[in-house]
Structure 1
Amino acid sequence: MKKVILSLVLVASVLTACKSEKKEKVEAKEAVKIETVADLNNVDVASSVITWKGTKPTGAHNGTIMLKEGSLNLNEGKLTGGSFAVNMSTIKVLDIPADKEGNGKLVGHLSAPDFFDVAAYATSKFVITSVEETEGKLAVTGNLTIKDVTKSITIPAMLTKEGAITTFKSETFSIDRADFNVKYGSKKFFDNLKDKFIDDLIEMSFTVNTKA
């Protein structure tokens, strides 16, 4: 009996640990109306990056996307606003070797009309609308635009400085791609997918560096 109880406790502990590893979805709300954001063009797009991870019943894929341009508005070392445009044509897959056929196929699929439709929507965007700081951590709210949909989300982040470079780095968070009209393989749009569906949640993180 003791062995059974210990086994149940062990299973419960493992399930709890697995559950805690999943990044909670950030809530997508109605976009916030804002005035024009100052275009400082002070972001170093070469060293800034967005990471992504998508999952499905049979596994996961991950990769990066680069920025096209961006601005971080700072006042006495505090983040007060900003925006950055994402170059969707730079989608990369990192978990499949670049010289493998599957890499190119997946990039092509992610770029296709039934996913991010890069030909029609070459740029995604995040515009900061408010910043709250608590114990050194930031809650950054902004309008995220993917394809033809703009939603307000709040993400956890930190601001650090090393020399002349300021870095805005988010924690890993998840968005629901269905909120942004990304339909392929989503059970919210299609029935009878069985185990061929793709999870709606996409994990993301931002690392945005200013120019030196």
Structure 2
Amino acid sequence: MKKNVLKGALASLVVIAMMSFTSIIEKVNVKNSTVEWTGEKVTGSHNGNIDLKSGFLDVEGDKITGGEFVMDMTSIDVTDLEGEGKGKLEGHLKSDDFFGVSNHPEAKLVINTASKKSENTYGVVADLTIKGITNPVTFDMNYDGKSATADLTIDRTKYDVRYGSGSFFDNLGDKTIYDEFEIAVDLKF
């Protein structure tokens, strides 16, 4: 009898331990998620969207342990312009001057670590790959189990996107495009 009770208790402990280390993959609903960008220059700014191709968060209990998100760079869209101006800017952003989407159709963000800062806020360290170049990025992400939001500031010059950069070219005047651009992410699971 004692052996059966001990075996039952041991089996229960093993099951509980296994459950505590079980990770869940939370797949992103790409149709209901958004990735918005904003780029600024001396004389103003432009904004638009990039489609999310795929993504997931790896969650253990109430902790984020990883994740990966792939953006479709061929989908770069400008939302603040219409007509010919919109088409010209989208074409230029897709060209080798900027993101070279014919050779680099995807960008990827891979979460390395996520540390809980408060109930729903995580400090994230990730690797971002644009144009085949990978650099670490850090940002805060709010995650509640059903959605996640984050704002990232990216230095485009670290990814060989130097067109119009005052850091690399002299005498650009009011044609200077700032090196950093903003990404606002709203993910639905």
With the length of structure 2 as denominator, give the TM-score of the two structures: 0.82
How many residues end up aligned between the 2 structures?
Answer: 166
Inter-partner Cα distance in structure 2 for 1:177 and 1:195:
19
Partner Cα distance (1:86, 1:47) in 2: 14
Contact (CA 8 Å) 2:26, 2:58: kept in 1 or not? no
In the alignment, structure 1 residue 131 sits paired with structure 2 residue 114:
yes
Residue 99 (structure 2) pairs with residue 105 (structure 1): no
* Correspondence for 2:49 among 45, 61, 64: 64
Q: Note the C-alpha offset of 1:87.
A: 0.3
Tell me how far apart the structure 2 counterparts of residues 58 and 117 of structure 1 sit (CA, whole Å).
24
Alpha-carbon shift at residue 209 of structure 1 (Å): 1.9
C-alpha distance in 2 between matches for 1:96 and 1:77 = 42
Q: How does 1:88-99 map to 2 (within 5 A)?
A: 88-97=73-82
How many angstroms apart in 1 are the aligned matches of 2:72 and 2:173?
A: 33
2:129 aligns with 145
The aligned residue for residue 32 of structure 2 is: 47
Structure 1 runs (4+) greater than 4 angstroms displaced: none
Give yes or no for the alignment of 1:175 onto 2:160: no
SS at match of 1:183: coil
User: Does the CA contact (< 8 Å) of 1:51 and 1:204 recur in 2?
Assistant: yes
Q: Does residue 164 of structure 2 align to residue 185 of structure 1?
A: yes
Choose 1 or 2 for highest CA Rg: 2
Q: Percent identity?
A: 39
- Cα distance in structure 2, aligned partners of 1:49 and 1:167: 11
> Displacement, 1:41?
7.8
Q: CA RMSD in A?
A: 1.8
> Which 5+ residue runs of structure 1 have no aligned equivalent?
1-37
Deviations 1:7-49 (A, max 9, x none): xxxxxxxxxxxxxxxxxxxxxxxxxxxxxxx9x5822111122
Hey, what's the Cα distance between the residues in 1 that align with 2:130 and 2:26? 21
Q: Which residue of 2 aligns with 1:24?
A: none
* Structure 2: runs of 5+ lacking an equivalent: 1-22
TM-score (norm 1): 0.74
- Residue 60 of structure 2 is matched in structure 1 by 75
Highest relative contact order (Cα 8 Å, sep 6+), 1 or 2?
Answer: 1
